[in-house]
Structure formats: C-alpha cells, structure tokens
Amino acid sequence: MRTLTYREALREGMDEELARDENVVLMGEEVAQYNGAYKVTEGLWKKWGDKRIVDTPISEAGFIGMGIGASMLGVRPVMELMFWSFHSVAFDQLVSNAACVRYMSGGLIHCPIVVRGPANGGTNVGATHSHIPEGLFAAFPGLKVVAPATPADAKGLIKASIRDNDPVFFMENTILYGTTGPVPDPAEGDFVIPLGVADLKREGSDLSLIAHGRSVIHCLEAAETLQRDHGISCDVLDLRTIRPLDQEAILKTVRKTHRVVLVDESKAFGGVSAMVATLIQDHCFDDLDAPIKRVTSLDAPAIYSKHVENDQLPNPKRIVEKVLTIA
C-alpha cells in the first residue's frame, strides 16, 4: 500500500470524484491558479480547467450562497473555506438554507454540497482563525459533520461526502496536512468510507479513549505511553464522523473496558464529547467502573502564544494524566 500525505489523499479523493461525476466542481478562494492556500488543490486547475476549479471572491457569504443554490439545481460543489473560522460570515446560509431545505421542501430539493477546510487550533494564528466548530454544526439537524484523522480516512470520507445528497461539513486540520499514512491504490478499487462508521484505531482492554480529528493522534501516542509506563491497555476509537454518530461503536468499547476518557479539541461547554458522555451515561451507566472523564480545550479564546496554546489544547501529556485519575 502506498504512503500519502493527508493533503495528497484529500486531493486524490477530489480528483477521482471530478473524474467520476461531471457535476462535481471545486470552488473557493485561491483554489485554482494558486493551487489552494494549503496546496490541497494543487494541480487540479491545470488538469480540469476554469469550469471545474473556480476561484471565488473573498466573500464567504457570496460563494457559499452560490454553492448552496447550485447544489439545489444538481451541481455537487466542494467549497473550500480558508479557515472554518470564517463560517460565521455565511452562517445564515449554512444553517438556515443548506441544513433546512430538504426538510422544508418535503424531500423534493436536495443540497449535495461539501464545505471543507481546516477547523483547528494549534497553529498560533489567534482566536479569530482558530475556531473548532464541529460541535456547533452537529447541533443542526440536516447537516453531516466529518473530521478525519488519517490520510486514508481523509480520502475515503471526502469521496463519500461528495456523493452524499445532504450538506456535509468536512473539518480538516492544518497540522495534519503534512502527516503521512497508508492509502489504498486506486488500482485496487474504489476506496470509499461510509459516513457514520467509527474506526477502532488501537485495541486494548483496560480503558477506552474516544476522539476525532487530530485528538485521535494524541490518543494513540498517549496509549503507547500508558502501555509502556503504566501497563494500561487502551482502546482508541476514532469517531471519524460526528453526525451521523456511530453510537453502537461507542457503546461497544465502553462495555468492553468499563472506563472511558473522551478527548475533544472543542471547548468543554457543549462540545462533541459532552454529547458522547450523555450517550454513554444513558446506555452504559451500569457498565462503568469509574466516572466518565473528558480532555478538552481550556475554556478561553485560542491563545496566540505557541507554548501556551499547546497546553490549552488536548495533548498526550494531558490525556495520560486524566487516564491515571481513573485507571
């Protein structure tokens, strides 16, 4: 199996969908001639041309609205936000139009749009460029929310997202773009990962670590430390998609290990892990041998200082410390 970077896997997935369906188009700021702010779309404009890879004005409200309208007419737009922090500029269109049109039309109008881009802290770009909004958008019925942690998941999930008939908000991570991992070769077949299916990234017996996005990578590192230094064996469950949420996978790992730590870059108040904790409490209370614990971002706007922001976000050290309180 080949090794690709996270950005290469995303690009390959979008390239394959451009070839598969002539209705797929990519739009966003600097995605064409400039090859994308993060070089995710590098080479696609040269290959597919102006009608398939479209640079937009610096107006999220304008081009997101255009993409939503186009999707209602049969186009499958993949819209890049330079930062997901800019979602607020187009918030009404995202949650009032994209999320609601299928329901309010009685299922007659679909909105097969993908909105993708980085949604993370940890890059020292200040509070206005470091929002982590997957929990926010997961609260709106009609939206699907995806947060891949590995190159293979990034490719398989972007392909499934583009084919989906509902709006999918695809949360990437700038820190992961350069990470590498095995990705199946296209010659081996069409590699698509269904939305709503979690993945057990590491198998253990003593405690479950449940996370999504970059937090999965931190959990894997923490699990290595816990096994080596403390003899604690951890399941690491990668949610991969927030909506739909793989409830059965969550309950299965908790019933197996009887202890759980939830890791989530969102703030603690109303974050994704808060929903997961409620699910576990409702369905697995009698299976728990210790309280549910959470590791989240500290409750403050993203801190500009690199060293302080590194501690504000979940990291392997914080995860290990939390596990040791209940192991």
Residues marked as catalytic: 60, 129
Structure tokens given for 146: 């995806």
CA 69 – CA 82 distance, rounded (Å): 21
CA 12 – CA 17 distance, rounded (Å): 9
For residue 71, report the phi and psi dihedrals to the nearest 5 degrees.
-65, -30
CA 240 – CA 246 distance, rounded (Å): 9
The half-sphere exposure of 168 on its side-chain side, counting CA atoms within 13 A, is 26
Give me the residue label for tokens 């198998």: 203
The half-sphere exposure of 167 on its side-chain side, counting CA atoms within 13 A, is 30
Do 236 and 201 contact (CB within 8 A), yes or no?
A: yes
CA 17 – CA 220 distance, rounded (Å): 31
